[in-house]
Chain A
């Protein structure tokens, strides 16, 4: 989800370009045209059609669609559950990353490998897998289907890797000497963690948590079976949108889709802004 901006190689490259203005690699203007046309047809035009339809009846129509009681209830459920999921991920994800970096135990490599499993598994499989344990024929007699805890468990499953994988590399790089200095100055473990380790990890934790939240609000496949789709209780926005399409209310579906996209974009833009500010701060400290 992160944009990998190619580093611009500065004045040297610029000078070379001036010397060889014809050479633009193996793709010239035609290639650029094809790429832009491709992205427009596949990505931009559908989203443009979505946005235009959402505002077909003007701002008022859009506002009425997303503030209709059922839509609002679905948005509340989705955002509420996603916040819970993001917070659990922030704590447990950091803890798992910690154990994977600082602890040694047999089978650690296997544990490290299975963290990525939720990303590799199709979401509908995640749904079925969790239902086999927490569904109607639960062997341990825990029944979470059609409850909000069921939604939380499903979303925790699919978002597990985000925080773990963003904190892990940072934790590997953290300077042990600062921690030892703090300890030698009489700081307890908790103080050292809170004052030294946590500030270093904070950007990674916040980044991973934000990505988990953005994923959770739009999730569909993993909650469709375990969630139960009960209006006002466990119906998430994506399920409500699908219902609006089924009863042929495309304008409402489009409006809710735009609202969902807006929440995701604000989250991701906020994260990018935050990441850039942190990077600038680090640059200044050096």
Chain B
């Protein structure tokens, strides 16, 4: 269908105008607000003790969540693709559940399971505090990022099939050898893509983490909690903008990595 020049231009104007007022102007404005006092003010604002500790905590959570998700994610993907067991369809559904659950609901569910009065509340009296401690934030982050590795590795496993794995097994390779020499090299780009998504979501998660964190500045604040508390509690708008810009930089880096990996995967 051929639209008139006028219609074409109107549609283009509406689409670009919408993106301009919703996305671009706010993003440019926050960058401008962050850097209007020079780059020095920005660096000062993101290197206060509270900000450095928030960055450390966020990175620590990523450093725990990523290996855990890689190991269990790959095992789950292999089990779902190669395994034949009753209830496989149900398990597929469970993997997707975290995407459908509101972050606040994740927090509530974890409090009711791991909190002092929860089902597993007993372990808190043994001195292992989950809720309002680092383990709670880690578990919350694992919950929301669980599908990424599984969902990125699964289609690759389906595509490569299991002929090579069977051949290796026939030739006497152990399960470990088959995994290291055959399966892992085949899934590496899908796995990397899943890891990038996991890192981005781990750094950016807010709702689930704020529910299970005690939120003390310098102790249990992640970068996203720092943005929130600077704006709400400290009325430090500039500080909130700077921390948000830092997070935005990380997000843009992620987007860039994803684009590069997408090309790698297509060529692979």
Bits for B70-84, please: 1 = Cβ < 8 Å to A, else 0: 001001101111111
Is there an interface contact between A27 and B79, defined as CB atoms closer than 8 Å?
yes
Question: At the interface with chain B, which of A64-72, A130-138, A201-209, A274-282?
Answer: A130-138
Bits for B1-38, please: 1 = Cβ < 8 Å to A, else 0: 11110011001101110110011111101100100000
Interface status of B47 (Cβ within 8 A of chain A): no
Interface status of B194 (Cβ within 8 A of chain A): no
Q: How many residues of A contact B (CB 8 A)?
A: 98
Interface status of A166 (Cβ within 8 A of chain B): no
A-B contact count (CB 8 A): 288
Q: How many residues of B contact A (CB 8 A)?
A: 103
Distance to closest chain B CB from A20 (angstroms): 7
Which of B78, B100, B112, B183 has the most CB atoms of chain A within a 10 A radius of its CB? B112
Distance to closest chain A CB from B259 (angstroms): 8
Choose one: A105, A132, A265; the contact of B100 (CB below 8 Å).
A265
Distance to closest chain A CB from B209 (angstroms): 10
- Considering the complex, which residues of chain A in the window 203-233 have a beta carbon less than 8 Å from any beta carbon of chain B? 214, 217-221, 224-225
Is there an interface contact between A218 and B76, defined as CB atoms closer than 8 Å?
no
Contact A38/B100 with A24-B83, A121-B248, A250-B112 known, Cβ cut-off 8 Å: no
- B245 nearest in chain A by CB position: A125
Interface status of B232 (Cβ within 8 A of chain A): yes
Contact A217/B102 with A5-B92, A122-B251, A253-B108 known, Cβ cut-off 8 Å: yes
- A16 nearest in chain B by CB position: B166
List A contacts of B204 (CB < 8 A): 121-125
Distance to closest chain A CB from B101 (angstroms): 6
- Considering the complex, which residues of chain B in the window 179-226 have a beta carbon less than 8 Å from any beta carbon of chain A? 179, 182-183, 200, 203-207, 211, 224
Name 17 interchain pairs, CB-CB below 8 A, sorted by A: A5-B92, A23-B169, A25-B81, A36-B79, A38-B72, A39-B95, A92-B15, A105-B12, A114-B19, A118-B23, A122-B203, A123-B207, A214-B100, A238-B104, A260-B105, A261-B105, A268-B100
